[in-house]
Every structure is written in C-alpha cells, then in structure tokens.
Structure 1
C-alpha cells in the first residue's frame, strides 16, 4: 500500500486523531527538532500535553495553516 505524501495529506484532510510531533514534521517536511523549536518559541501550531506526550489537534493545525496563508497573502 502506497503512503500519501505530506502535502497531499494536508490538502486532502488531516487524520481524525491527535497528531504527534513526528506527524507534524512529516506534514510540513521539517525535522522533528524544528517542531520542538516552534513549540518552545510559540511560533508553530499549538500543541498540548497528555502526560509526557505532546499532541496536536488537527483542527488547530488547519487553523494555523489558514492563518499562515492569510499572513502571506497580506504581506
């Protein structure tokens, strides 16, 4: 079974589950370390902790992408 590319995954819709930092890194084609830096600097999609695990709500990720696209259009 072929896996979808990160770009097609984002365009087709995100999975109906909370996303891991590895998922975010794959979707945006960045290293996982970048995802953690975004969180530290509060510049990336908002995440939350479940115990010691970091997760991302797909709705928040969609909103983040929409905000970034709008900011780029306005620039």
Structure 2
C-alpha cells in the first residue's frame, strides 16, 4: 500500500484573490456592472489568467476607499 501524497500547502505572502462572481457578491452589484466598469476603466484592477479575471483583495479594498465621498466640510459662516 502506498502513502498518498501530502496535500499542497497554501502559498504564503500572496494576496487573497476573488473571482468576478465573488467580487459581485462582495460589492452587492451585478456581474454585468463589474464588466461595464472594466470596459470604462472605472473598476478595481484585475489579474487575467487566460479568460479568467481575479481581483486581489488588497486592490479591491484600495479601490473601495477611492470611491468614498469626501468628508463634509464644516459650515464656516
């Protein structure tokens, strides 16, 4: 009887990656919206692996912060 090969260990130091459906669910927007943002250069950066898009969670978080409205300015009267 042979011993099964050990399962591969997750790589350390790599950012978690989301696919487009996971990103859609995370942001609460349709997948088509993400494709539209990409076509117009508005969405988060992505990696392309063949026909598959993957989004680094760090890039998504930075993009989300860029979408935040500026803090309201105090009324100076």
Pair in the same fold by TM > 0.5: yes
Query: Which runs of 4 or more aligned residues in structure 1 lie more than 4 Å from their structure 2 counterparts after TM superposition?
Result: none
What is the TM-score of this pair, normalised by structure 2?
Answer: 0.67
Using the TM superposition, give the Cα deviation of residue 17 of structure 1 relative to its aligned residue in structure 2, in angstroms.
2.2
Q: Is the 8 A contact 1:39 1:47 kept in 2?
A: no
User: Over aligned residues, Cα RMSD in angstroms?
Assistant: 1.6
Which structure: larger Rg?
Answer: 2
SS at match of 1:19: strand
* Gaps in structure 1 of 5+ consecutive residues: 1-15
Map of 1:31 onto structure 2: 30
Show the 5 A alignment for 1:43-62: 43-62=42-61
For 1:46 and 1:74, how far apart are their aligned partners in 2? Answer: 25
Using the TM superposition, give the Cα deviation of residue 63 of structure 1 relative to its aligned residue in structure 2, in angstroms.
0.5
* Gaps in structure 2 of 5+ consecutive residues: 1-14, 73-77
Which residue of the other structure, out of 50, 66, 70, is the alignment partner of 1:73? 70
